[in-house]
Amino acid sequence: MGIKSFQGARKQQQQSTSQPVALKVKDYMTTNLITFKPDQSVQQVVECLIKYKISGGPVVNDKNELVGIISEGDCLKHLSESRYYNMPLEQDNVEKRMVANVETIDGNMDVFDAANKFLQSKRRRFPIVENGKLVGQISQKDILKAALQLKGENWNSKTKG
C-alpha cells in the first residue's frame, strides 16, 4: 500500500521569466540642482547652503560643464583661515576654495554598485556628467530612497499572499 499525502494537492509554482529590474543611478539622481559659479563669493555659497538646507553642490562654468564641487567643509575652512589671517570674507571666491578634481559616477551604474562606491569613498554626493555636461547628482539619501522603493515593490510583494 502506498503512502498517502495528507497535504492535499500542491499548487504548481510559477516560474518567473521576467528578469529583475536593474535600478539605475539616472533613475534616482536629482536633476534640479543648486549649482555654483567659479566667480561667486564663498559668502554667497554659505547663504545658499543655509537657505536650501544642502551640504554642498557642483560648480559649473557658463557651458554647464562641471569644473568642481564645493561643500560646507570647504566653506568652514575658508571662514577659519580668514579669521586666523584677519582677512575679509569677500576676498575669496568659489574657484579658490572648491575641489577641482571631482570624482563622478555613471548614470547607468546600478544603485547598489553606487552604494558600494559611496562606502569606499566616504563621499556624500557624486555628480553625473554626460557628454561633458552636468546632468544630475546622486546622494546617499537618493540611494536609500531607491532601496526603500525596491523593498516596497519586490520584497513585500513576495511575502503577501
Give just the sign of the alpha carbon dihedral 35, 38, 39, 40: positive
What pLDDT score was predicted for residue 156? 42
Residue pLDDT, tens place only, 48-107? 999 999 999 999 999 999 999 999 999 998 888 776 566 655 667 999 999 999 999 999
In this predicted structure, what is the pLDDT of residue 78? 83
- Set out the domains of the chain in order of their start, with CATH numbers: 25-155 (3.10.580.10)
Task: Work out the average pLDDT over 37-53.
Answer: 95
Q: Which residues, including other chains, have CB under 8 Å from residue 13's CB and lie 6 or more apart?
A: none
Instruction: Give the pLDDT confidence score for residue 69 in this predicted structure.
Output: 96
Q: Which pLDDT belongs to residue 97?
A: 92
Query: What average pLDDT is seen over the chain?
Result: 83
* Pairing of the two strands 56-60 and 125-130: unpaired
Specify the residue for cell string 520584497.
155
Provide the 8-state DSSP code for 16: P
In sequence order, what E strands does 34-124 have?
56-60, 66-71
User: Is the model's pTM score more than 0.85?
Assistant: no
Q: What is the DSSP letter of 6?
A: S
Of 45-49, 86-90, 110-114, the range with the lowest mean pLDDT is 86-90
> Does 110 have pLDDT greater than 80?
yes
In this predicted structure, the answer to whether residue 143 has a pLDDT above a threshold of 60 is yes
* Higher local confidence (pLDDT), 80 or 143: 143
Report the Cα–Cα distance between both ends of the chain, in Å, rounded.
36
Decide if 18 contacts 117 (C-beta within 8 A): no
* CA 117 to mean position of chain CA atoms: 11
